Structure 1
Amino acid sequence: MSRRSLLSRAIRSNGEPIKITIDKSGANTSAINDYNDDAGADIEIRQNKYLNNIIGQDHRPIKQLCKATLGFGRFRTARITIGDFESMRIIRKR
């Protein structure tokens, strides 16, 4: 599956963003520019590896909890468990 089709699917599922933060990947930049041209959208591209890393680091505690569970047997149980981990994190952060 191409990056363009993944981007289109993500936008259909979650709505069109105002800005997208990516690393210096040329494929991602091309996919976003193609989408902007085809859909008449005006999505701003922010290319900064450090901003992208900050977003990824926000979920590090969740990743550690998932690793401690030694994997999941089914997708449904993974979804429920990760949702519970996220809920606990939100309650702690207020």
Structure 2
Amino acid sequence: PVHRAAYAVAEDAAGAALAVAQAKLMACEAANLAAKNSIQVHGAMGYTWEVDLHIFMKKAWALANTWGDAGWHKQQVAAVIFADGAALGAGATFQ
């Protein structure tokens, strides 16, 4: 999704806003999951100043709310998916 969003923005494609919203949702979810799992694996050591994992967690939290939070981007995606006459399914979604 991130590559598709970058390409859509670079080419000024019609669905660029949707692609960016999807990429933002997936990238933030992946960053939060990676940060949480890293701290879980390292235990209490992950919260100490000796290990930089706490920095990555804080960056993931900060970036999750930058340029619209997950709720706003989910609304953007839902507006396209649930719109009347939305072109979804084989032949329309995967081109």
Classify the TM-score, shorter chain.
under 0.3
TM-score between both structures, scaled by the size of structure 1: 0.27
Structure holding more strand per residue = 1
TM-score between both structures, scaled by the size of structure 2: 0.27
